[in-house]
Chains A and B, each alone.
Chain A
Amino acid sequence: MSNPTTKATREFLKPPVTEVGVIGWLRSNLFNNWYNSLLTVIVMLLFWQLIPPAFSWAFVNSVWNTSAEVCRETDGACWSVIPQNINFIFFGFFPEDQQWRPGLAMVLLIALVVYSKNRNHWKKSLGIYWLINLVVMASLMYGGIFGLPVVETDQWSGLPLTFMLALFGIVAAYPIGVILALGRQSKMPAIKTLCVVYIEMIRGVPLISLLFMSSVMFPLFLPDGVTLDKVLRAQAAIILFSAAYVAEVVRGGLQAMSRGQFEAADSLGLNYNQSMRLIILPQALKIVIPPTVGVLLSVFKDTSLVVIIALYDVLKTTKVTLSNPKWTSYSTEAYIFLAVLYFICCYAMSSYSRKLEKELHTGH
């Protein structure tokens, strides 16, 4: 391409000093005109005022694992509220001497989630691991076999409950949402109408009202003597709710596909299922990874709404802990801890989604 003679004589100059390095960066990002310079100074003053006291409250004057009495003497943070109550925050009303069971179940769950992150592991065997893991986790939580005493679901609480509602919410809502989105695009009027009505109805009501319905109204319609587990009902409400949102996101992806892709798939003689599964959905779902993750993150966070039907998720167990007069004044610390916990989970999900997006990128 390039001409060898010009290449030989061409000189490569370094950019001027004021354009590169620390000074260049500062100049172009923080002090490039008078009002940006002013803003920079104000923000720096604010930081100067806020950060040192916050730091000494959290790390210097703080206590980490002491009794509540010791906390009263310090003017820093009392992080002790967490380790001193960790069993209740994490496991709630699960019988004290059995709490190793939900603990082990969560370790298994997290291990498998981490294992599943690697795309090389996405094989049939992974599905089998999940099935085995689900059975093991259910036996651990519920008991009744291997001499484990039965623990009814109304005693399930804390982190295992949050994780369970979130994970099954996400895992079940996603495929249902995809099917609803496909149904909404269907050429068959009955199916299409059904899907539209469902999606719009669900999106028209808040999750809280669905939860209420599932816990209060739904049992009224069941025949006498038939009961459906309360946790299960809440789980169903979360799944049905989230599926409608997933559906709308996926529909956006389907609409972004060019007609040429549908036609190319058709003209090869692929049937509807094949062309959706092999051609359309892999591309459409990839396009909508960012908004999908947004929906899934809300599913995770919305699980905390189950408190209103008297289920004790990790937020509620923390609140219960704080209602103990000994610890009442340390709610800031407890909520910061919860925020960090939620943040870690959500950040892990969103950073994984970005990695997945990059891996699936094929240069178009």
Chain B
Amino acid sequence: MNETQAQTDDTSAGTPIIEVSSMHKWYGDFHVLSDINLQVKSQERIVICGPSGSGKSTLIRCINRLEEHQRGQIIVNGTELTNDIKNIEKVRAEVGMVFQHFNLFPHLTIIENLTLGPIWVRKTPKKEAEEMAMMYLEKVHIAEQAEKFPGQLSGGQQQRVAIARSLCMKPQVMLFDEPTSALDPEMIKEVLDVMIDLAEEGMTMLVVTHEMGFAKSVADRVMFMDEGQIVEQNNPHDFFDNPQHERTKLFLSQIL
């Protein structure tokens, strides 16, 4: 397992898996994202932070086309996002997304939540999909809940199921939109631990979060956004100890 991982490291590390260039987005007249340029290499872990309303969610939702951009280019895993619905579905299958409010499917059991994507999108045989789902449930330490419904789980458990659901699609990239901010403090750690494990296994991750501890220990790069622009990005050490921009300094002084 580790060896094959290491091999793919050599070949794929360094090639950008997400390329956003001169991207703009408007909500009606409101210019929410302005001239976004972003390259994410395979296995890179990026944390995005910034004040409320700065466009963090919008940016990562553009990457799997939950939101449409109006100008510029977004290329994910070699596929450019345009109006072509087939391309969009292809990209979405390769990009996992974890939401603030989990968004599990309440009418399906946990295991059905996990196998749905593999069975219908990847055409995996049901039995195989279930075995894989159980493996990922074990990985997020929740295998014993497989037959329950989402409504019967705690918030932290639901979020771990949501992560496992994305992993079942064997995504190239995982997007996280404030995965812990709807959780009680004692549940935040169990979710962050799962995310740290994931990072250590070499998953490419884009994480919007206010958990600066996570950013310091896991991120390769921390990005600061304000008013729809990427103001500053740097490795976590320099970002936190030596911020360049006034707005970043102000933000960090408020949050730390």
Binding site for B on A (CB under 8 A): 258, 260-261, 263-271, 274, 278-279, 282-283, 286, 360, 362-364
The CA-CA distance from A128 to B111 in the complex, in Å, is 30
Given known contacts A267-B92, A267-B97, A278 and B120 CB-to-CB distance under 8 angstroms: yes
The CA-CA distance from A269 to B77 in the complex, in Å, is 15
B151 at interface by CB-CB < 8 Å? yes
Given known contacts A264-B99, A268-B169, A360 and B107 CB-to-CB distance under 8 angstroms: yes
Q: Is the CB of B105 within 8 A of A279?
A: yes
The 6 lowest CB-CB distance pairs between A and B, nearest first, are A269-B93, A364-B151, A264-B103, A363-B151, A260-B103, A267-B97
Task: Name the CB-closest residue of A to B165.
Answer: A268
Q: Is the CB of A261 within 8 A of B149?
A: no
Q: Is the CB of B121 within 8 A of A266?
A: no
Q: Is the CB of B150 within 8 A of A274?
A: no
Most buried by B among A258, A261, A278, A362: A362
Given known contacts A278-B120, A363-B149, A364-B151, A267 and B106 CB-to-CB distance under 8 angstroms: no
Task: Name the CB-closest residue of B to A268.
Answer: B117
**Residue from the list B64, B85, B101, B105 in contact with A267, Cβ < 8 A:** B64
Q: Is the CB of B90 within 8 A of A269?
A: yes
Task: Name the CB-closest residue of A to B122.
Answer: A269
Binding site for A on B (CB under 8 A): 64, 66, 85, 89-90, 92-97, 99, 101, 103-107, 116-117, 120-121, 149-152, 165-166, 169
The CA-CA distance from A283 to B66 in the complex, in Å, is 21
Q: Is the CB of A286 within 8 A of B107?
A: yes
Q: Is the CB of A283 within 8 A of B106?
A: yes
Q: Is the CB of B95 within 8 A of A283?
A: no
Complex contacts, A261 vs chain B, CB 8 Å = 103, 105
Given known contacts A268-B169, A279-B105, A362 and B149 CB-to-CB distance under 8 angstroms: yes
The CA-CA distance from A181 to B92 in the complex, in Å, is 26
The CA-CA distance from A364 to B103 in the complex, in Å, is 12
Given known contacts A263-B99, A264-B105, A270 and B120 CB-to-CB distance under 8 angstroms: yes
A-B pairs with beta carbons under 8 Å apart, 5 shown = A261-B103, A267-B166, A268-B165, A274-B121, A364-B149
The CA-CA distance from A111 to B149 in the complex, in Å, is 34
Complex contacts, B121 vs chain A, CB 8 Å = 268-270, 274
A28 CB → nearest B CB, Å: 33
Q: Is the CB of B92 within 8 A of A362?
A: no
Complex contacts, B97 vs chain A, CB 8 Å = 263-264, 267
A263-B66, A264-B105, A270-B117 given. 15 additional CB < 8 A pairs? A260-B99, A261-B103, A263-B97, A264-B99, A268-B92, A268-B93, A269-B89, A269-B92, A269-B93, A270-B120, A270-B121, A282-B107, A283-B105, A363-B149, A363-B152
Q: Is the CB of A260 within 8 A of B101?
A: yes
B137 CB → nearest A CB, Å: 17
Given known contacts A267-B64, A278-B120, A364 and B106 CB-to-CB distance under 8 angstroms: yes
